[in-house]
Amino acid sequence: MINLTDENFDKEISNAQKPVLVDFWAVWCGPCSFLAPVLEKLSEEYKEKIIFAKVNIDDSPVISQKLGIDRIPNVVFFKDGKVLGGFVGAQPEEAIKKLLEGFLKGGDDGDSSKLIREYEEYALKNGFKLNPDKKIVEGVVKSLLDRENKFGEKYCPCRRITGNREEDKKIVCPCIYHKEEVEKDGFCFCRLFVKI
C-alpha cells in the first residue's frame, strides 16, 4: 500500500493508471486497526487491477477536509481521478470484495442507470416524476447504492437509520413518506420524486 499525503494526493490520484482505493485512517482508531490487515490482504489479491493507498488523517488534514472525511475508517474508490464510491467503518473481506468487483466492472454506473430507470417507471405509475435536475437524482441514487452496500438495503439517504430492522423498513426507498410529501410539498424530502 502506498502512503498518500496532502502534498502528493492529487498528483497520485490523477496520474494513476489503475483505479485507486484509498483508506483514510488514524493511529488511534480501533476499527481502522481491524480493517488494515483486510485491506493489506486484498491489496495483494488485486495488485494487478487496483492501487491500494492510505491517508493518515492526522498527518494529512487538508485532503481529508477537502473530501469531507469526517468518520474513519473511510474507504474511497477513485477511477480516472473521480470518486466512484466507498464505505465507512470496518467491513468484512467478502463485502469489500463484492464492492471492488462492482467498481471494476463499472457496476456502480450500471447499477445507478438501472435504478434510475426503475424509479422513473415507478414515478410515472404513481402520478409523479423524477426530479428534472440530473445531479440531484444521481446524488440520491449514489447514496442509495452506498447505503445498500453498507447496510444491505436502499435506505433513504435523507432519513436516519435506527438499527431496528422493522422500523427501518419504512425508510427503504421509496419510503412510506414520499407520496404524502410529493402531494403536500411538491417533492419528497430527498427531492428524488417531484410533482408533475
Residues acting as catalytic residues: 29, 32
Q: Are 168 and 104 in contact (CB under 8 A)?
A: no
Per residue in 98-112, is it b (16+ CB within 10 Å) or e — as a string?
ebbebbbeebbeebb
The half-sphere exposure of 69 on its side-chain side, counting CA atoms within 13 A, is: 29
Rounded distance, CA 176 to CA 163, Å? 17
Check residue 155 and report its DSSP letter: B
